[in-house]
Structure 1
Amino acid sequence: MLSRVRFLVATLWAGSLWTVGFVVAPTLFATLSDRMLAGTIAGSLFRVEAWLSIACALILLALLQWGAAGLEAKRRRLLGALVLAMLVCTLVSYVGITPLMAELRAQAPSGVMDEAMRSRFGMLHGVSTLIFAVQSLLAGMLIWKQQ
């Protein structure tokens, strides 16, 4: 029973990552003519996604610690490592990179950044995107290795 709950939580987590990152956010930028508005909405969605990721990680870690008696130790360690790696991705991005990007946006309230700010924002966005891609791949591995 708890293995099914673990699978359900992992699937919810992976599905939410993939939906927000690869469907909703790109659709916002493709549909809205105001890139600032699209970025603001996407930022809000990624903030919700970060909190959902933290909750899913904590639930999965608890299930792996106390509800995985029938799971072989090697698989349990692997699943735990995947969950922790995904949690680290979330924390690095949400606590480390997102505030820096928000600070740059706040320094340009009209949406106009000078070349140096735009370059720094682009670099931070690129790093954040890379971390998100890694987390998304880890999510696929987490689902795959559940069985």
Structure 2
Amino acid sequence: MLSLATQRIFSLIAGLWVGGLLTIGFLVVPILFSSLGDRQVAGMVAANLFKSTAYISVLTSIILMLMANHFVRLGRSYYRVSRWILLGMLACAISAAFIIIPWMNSLRDQALYLGLSVRESTYAVLFSRLHGVSSAIYMLQAILGIALVWRATKNAD
């Protein structure tokens, strides 16, 4: 039988993870850009924060998905929807961590090699589009995360 403590651990991990996503994306990074005078430095710090967040998200979503799979195998079908939410969050994290962020970092590094900020380089348009895609993915992950926490804190009985 699935213990209440195990369900609470699932909820705790989900809550901390999603809280971190929301804090980094919607509080810390905007404060960075408004506080630092140099947008290039703020962007580089933000990129490192988002890269770390993406790696943590990959690991956390896998752990929570394994827990949800275990719950479903024990007969708790309530966690079936949570697995789909976690799969969506994992897809967001993988695309950010291993496609979008490295691509953006590469463009930024190429511009710096030329002695320019990425906004001044020929990569500016592509970087801007990738930034938009990255922001949309992050927003989707945050919305899925809120849905996950909402479900995780609901009484599943």
Amino acid corresponding to residue 140 of structure 2 in structure 1: V
Superposed displacement of residue 67, structure 1:
4.2
Q: Which structure ranks higher in relative contact order (CA pairs < 8 Å, sequence separation ≥ 6)?
A: 1
The answer to whether the Cα contact below 8 Å between 2:33 and 2:43 also exists between their aligned partners in 1 is yes
The answer to whether the Cα contact below 8 Å between 2:85 and 2:148 also exists between their aligned partners in 1 is yes
Superposed displacement of residue 13, structure 1:
1.2
Superposed displacement of residue 123, structure 1:
0.4
1:33 paired residue number: 37
Gaps of at least 5 residues in structure 1 are none
How many residues get paired? 145
Give the alignment partner of residue 111 of structure 1, picking from 113, 116, 127: 116
Superposed displacement of residue 95, structure 1:
0.8
2:80 paired residue number: 77
Superposed displacement of residue 141, structure 1:
0.4
Name which one, 1 or 2, has greater alpha-carbon Rg. Answer: 2
Alpha-carbon displacement from aligned partner over 1:86-132 (angstroms, at most 9, x marks no partner): 01001111111111111111111133345641111000000000000
1:56 paired residue number: 60
| Equivalence map 1:106-145=2 (5 Å) | 106-109=109-112, 110-113=115-118, 114=120, 116-145=122-151
**3-state secondary structure, aligned to 1:3:** helix
Gaps of at least 5 residues in structure 2 are none
The answer to whether the Cα contact below 8 Å between 2:68 and 2:83 also exists between their aligned partners in 1 is yes
Distance 1:70 1:21 in 2: 36
